[in-house]
Structure 1
Amino acid sequence: MTTTINANSHKSLIRNKVWSRLRAVALPDSRFHHDYSSFIADFEGSSAATDLLQSLPAYQNAHLIFIAPDNCLQELRYRSLTDGKKVIVTTYGIRRGFWILDPEQIHESQWQMASVLDGMENIGRHMTLADISELPTDIALMVTGTGAINLKGLRFGKGHGYFDLEWAMLYSIGKANQRTQTIAVVHECQVLDEELRGEVWDTGCDFVVTNDKVINVKDASKPSCGILWDKLEDGMLEDIEPLKELEAIKKRSRAG
């Protein structure tokens, strides 16, 4: 317990240190201004980071990509559609689950709006976990923003663990696996040379892509524990649609 408390305290100190730097380069959110505990910010240079990400074979070879609903990834969602890739994204806080943006089913004139969270639900298609499990290909790449990240690919997000949950849910249904590559898109000021022991559920990143460079991470952590139900924040099971779906699947499995 003491180790967990100390680790959480350390992460909190790191977040606060980075957030103070981020304010100089981050773009405010229309809902949350500069409250980085409520959203992952877009930043000056995110287009340059997207350029670098698009140059990676991990992106070029991927046909089905998960892209987190972070502000700094809106342009990537749009560019992925223009590159003919299918994009899976969650609603904010995962509350209404997963959606798929398929450029073969969405007219080109709507790609820009589909890449915006407010447009995604009107233009994309809602997907249950059962629907995602039936897709013909696995998810080759998962991309996220974050609050801060160290050189070993360990992220320090807002503190809710949404990307870890997204990984765990997709891993639980067999669509993400140890071959799935992970990328964090951040500003240079969010990259820290900090040592911190990760938790068993922490999903590390194979690449850290900034506005200036690409950092290759060796042996990034890829959890295989699935959902740790007793570690969920209060209210998550009630609020997050796919978690309720997974719980129902688990109960049916036990009954069978």
Structure 2
Amino acid sequence: MSQVEGSWGGYHPQKDRLRGEIWQRLKQEGVAVGDPVDRIPNFVGAGEAAVRLASLDVWQQAKTVKCNPDSPQIPVRLRALQEGKRLYMAVPRLTDARCFVELTAEGLQEKQIPLEQVAIAHHALSYGRLVSFAQMQPIDLAVVGCVAVARNGGRTGKGAGFADLELAMLRMLGLVQATTPIVTTVHPLQIVADERLPMLPHDWLLNWVVTAQDAIAISPTRPQPTGLDWDTIRPEQYQRIPILQQLRRASISGFGSKDFPGN
């Protein structure tokens, strides 16, 4: 595997190639902030895209927002906190069984912690509160990081599958619904033709793609996944993500977010 294809690849050659092309294109056009390879790429205009996202009704109506921990969504996380929304940020790589950090402006301001500081992922981990599923509120809007997106709702991240796993777990436990808006902020160069992004049944579709210049509303062509598909979870995901092991053990008896073992 060449470096430009990223260390998370190897499971879907078409998506691997596409990610490599996007990373290279962002670098060549000078719109990447930092090295985009192997990352959800930060981009010129990320702040403006967050402002455009905040103008949408789906954002303004949301009281609780889930957001990915990547750099291009720092302005999104900051905006959520500034507007008094409850923010859940996924723990990078889901390495803790309590795999979300809860952040509220009220709690942070009581501790005199600047919101601008906590919008950065490693500070969020230091100052936020790790929460179990039982401690979480239902999510009104989910923000995901993307390397490439399509106007039919198709998306791909780095190739590790974290976003799909997070949403599937939250759906399984009733914290995300079939109608919960799924949005992303990207650079226009990350938007590709629909046929370039094949989507599998366990892949979650976007409802909005937001750039600094535009907000693209999408009507998904199929229902969102109803939960985890154990047949598609890779062995290394199961081994490295503690919450998957707990969910698997609990799934045979049936549970909800309020009676999940360990909560």
CA distance in structure 1 between the partners assigned to 2:59 and 2:185 by the alignment: 13
**Maintained 8 Å contact 1:208/1:216:** yes
CA distance in structure 2 between the partners assigned to 1:51 and 1:253 by the alignment: 41
Aligned to 2:6: none
Select which of 105, 108, 127 maps to 1:103.
105
Deviation at 1:230, TM superposition (A): 2.6
Paired residues for 1:1-256 under 5 Å: 8-23=12-27, 24-28=30-34, 33-35=35-37, 37=38, 39-96=39-96, 97-107=99-109, 109-132=113-136, 135=137, 138-195=138-195, 196-219=197-220, 221-253=222-254
Deviation at 1:222, TM superposition (A): 4.6
Identity rate, percent: 27
**Maintained 8 Å contact 1:98/1:126:** yes
Deviation at 1:19, TM superposition (A): 1.5
Aligned to 2:4: none
Deviation at 1:225, TM superposition (A): 3.5
- The secondary structure found in structure 1 opposite 2:12 is helix
Code of the residue aligned with 2:75 in structure 1: it is E
TM-score w.r.t. structure 1 length?
Answer: 0.87
- The secondary structure found in structure 2 opposite 1:183 is strand
- The secondary structure found in structure 1 opposite 2:183 is strand
1:163-205 per-position Cα deviation (integer Å, ceiling 9, x unaligned): 1111101001001011200101110100012314411111111
CA distance in structure 2 between the partners assigned to 1:46 and 1:181 by the alignment: 20
Structure 1 residue runs of 4+, over 6 Å off? none
- The secondary structure found in structure 2 opposite 1:169 is helix
Give 5+ residue unaligned stretches, structure 1.
1-6
Query: Mean alpha-carbon deviation: is it higher for 218-227 or for 163-172?
Result: 218-227
CA distance in structure 1 between the partners assigned to 2:105 and 2:50 by the alignment: 19
TM-score w.r.t. structure 2 length?
Answer: 0.84
Change in Cα spacing, 1:11 to 1:215, as seen in structure 2 (3 Å) is: same
**Maintained 8 Å contact 2:94/2:241:** yes
The alignment of Structure 1 onto Structure 2 pairs a total of residues equal to 238
Aligned to 1:4: none
1:46-74 per-position Cα deviation (integer Å, ceiling 9, x unaligned): 11101100000000000000011111001
**Maintained 8 Å contact 2:206/2:220:** no
CA distance in structure 1 between the partners assigned to 2:61 and 2:167 by the alignment: 20
**Cα RMSD, aligned residues only:** 1.9
CA distance in structure 1 between the partners assigned to 2:183 and 2:59 by the alignment: 10
CA distance in structure 2 between the partners assigned to 1:119 and 1:54 by the alignment: 23
**Maintained 8 Å contact 1:200/1:225:** no
Deviation at 1:43, TM superposition (A): 0.7
Change in Cα spacing, 1:246 to 1:211, as seen in structure 2 (3 Å) is: same
CA distance in structure 2 between the partners assigned to 1:146 and 1:197 by the alignment: 15
Deviation at 1:252, TM superposition (A): 4.7
